[in-house]
Amino acid sequence: MGRGRQKAKHTKVARDLKYYSPPTDLSALQRELQAKRAASSSDGDDWAEDSDDWADEDAPSAQRR
């Protein structure tokens, strides 16, 4: 007999979780993204270094038949 009440309670909890939106600290997010951008730009271009390593693999082979 308690199944209806239990289901209603679970439905209410699920709905509360679905529409819950915690407060977002946008200034902290901005600082984090700027720190990551600064770190990645100071490291240099890693893709350019890797492209030299893989350039031979992408080139068509003259010995294929």
Q: What is the pLDDT along the chain (65 residues), one digit of tens a residue?
A: 578 999 999 999 999 999 998 899 999 999 999 998 888 776 555 566 666 666 666 566 655 55
By residue count, the chain amounts to 65
Instruction: Find how far residue 25's CA is from the centre of its chain.
Output: 18
What pLDDT was estimated at residue 64?
Answer: 55
**Cα 25 to Cα 35: distance, rounded to the nearest angstrom:** 16
What pLDDT was estimated at residue 5?
Answer: 93
- What is the distance in angstroms between the CA of the first residue and the CA of the last residue of the chain? 76
pTM, 2 dp: 0.34
